[in-house]
Amino acid sequence: LSLPNPSSSAGQSARSQLWRTQPLSEQQRNKKKQQQGLSGFNRVQAVSADFVADVGDLPPLLNDILLRAVFGEPATGLRVPLWLLRQAGPHLPEYRQLLAHHGHAELCRNPELASELTVLPLTRCELDAAPIFTDIILVPIALGLVAKQSVGGVNQRAGLIVSEPLTGPADRAALALEFGAARGRLHCVLEALNLARRRLMGRAVLLGLAGAPWTLLARMAGDPGLAVGWLYSQPEACERLLDKLTGLLVDFLVDQVAAGAQALQVVEPLAGRLSPNLFCQFALPRLRRLASEVRARIGPGVPLILFAPSCHSVLEELACSGFDVLGVDHTMRPEHCRRVAAAAGVAVQGNLDPALLAYAPSEVLRDHVRRMLRAFGAKRYVCNVGAGLLPETPPERLAELTRLVRLLVEDLSSKNE
């Protein structure tokens, strides 16, 4: 496989770009499935790790409000950037239809479908970022582990889980993990990014995504509690495995930028399962290494976002871990999060309760959004939810929230003048 490479001819390039923005025919889709091994999502295809140097010309970013907010630059007009965790999810009828027809695994492994879902929410409202549609379990799959679809219908949160988990950080399966081949096997995510970048046409920042080392280790164990036990009983073996995962993730994140990502988010959803001591010993050093090494290789200008929910006790450490944006969940007080982020010199992202979008009347939603915006302020702030959107969220709520945030930001700004 290779990423699209436009012709140097302007006419051919335009036709090529138009082709990439159109859905594939059923015959073309079947051909791509055969080429990419999509009949079984545990089948992977190795490619050269340097293919990312040949991605062709990509559309420039026209909406840079998120980048300006993250780096503290003035934006044009009174705007706060807005995007939503799991904005392409089961609350959208189009997603449910694709999920019922293809299954979650194929949606993640098929670049055409993944890029289509990445752009889908922007057809409903004006959002300022589009996270690539993917699953963090693709990294363990690329390492050679077997995964399966988690239990749940089309109206529930779909996902992949490791079906044959490790029995220890140094067991036979752990020692056989294929780190040398894994980077090339993640090509489907990179091609999806490239296609999504072209489909977005600069309307929003394209976000790359990866799970953090500790969270991936816990998922590979099949049970976070079991993985916590390994940290106590086999700390040295865990350190070695975490370091290998970190090295792979650095390469993967750098490749995502080369493929078209304009910002990166690292998610650590299982960090809350660790005590502060365990977090600082095992998880935090890898997060710092990720931020440091990725930044050294991609240079300035690409925001690095860290989202680690349920980490109240180590919020200051997270803010100082080297990322540009501190993502916070809806259980934290905005005023405290703002103070911590400001002290560390980073932006903050969050933290509306997703249940408000799913269930609250419009006047209740408006009141909560107003208080949140007043607490966070408009500078170095990215408006988001504090957890993924719920399947019960009415699709029209996305557009309602977009309008609400813009109106309230203008109202609060005029009162502060």
pLDDT in tens, 231-250: 999 999 999 999 999 999 99
Quote the pLDDT of residue 358: 98
Spatial CB neighbours of 348, under 8 Å, sequence gap ≥ 6: 325, 326, 327, 328, 337, 338, 341, 376, 380, 381, 382
Domain boundaries, the chain: 71-414
Q: How far apart are CA 6 and CA 172, in angstroms?
A: 44
pLDDT in tens, 96-151: 999 999 999 999 999 999 999 999 999 999 999 999 999 999 999 999 999 988 76
pLDDT in tens, 52-87: 444 568 999 999 999 999 999 876 667 899 999 999
Quote the pLDDT of residue 26: 47
Under a CB-based contact definition with an 8 Å cutoff, are residues 262 and 205 in contact?
A: yes
Under a CB-based contact definition with an 8 Å cutoff, are residues 379 and 302 in contact?
A: no
Quote the pLDDT of residue 393: 98
Quote the pLDDT of residue 412: 75
Quote the pLDDT of residue 156: 54
| Residue 164, CA distances (Å) to 167, 220, 226 in order | 9, 8, 14
What does the DSSP assignment read for 367-378?
Answer: HHHHHHHHHH-S
Q: How confident is the model at residue 47 (pLDDT cuts 50, 70, 90)?
A: very low
End-to-end CA distance of the chain: 55
pLDDT in tens, 286-295: 999 999 999 9
How much of the chain, in percent, has pLDDT values that exceed 90?
79
Does the structural domain 71-414 have CATH classification 3.20.20.210?
A: yes
pLDDT in tens, 296-324: 999 999 999 999 999 999 999 999 999 99
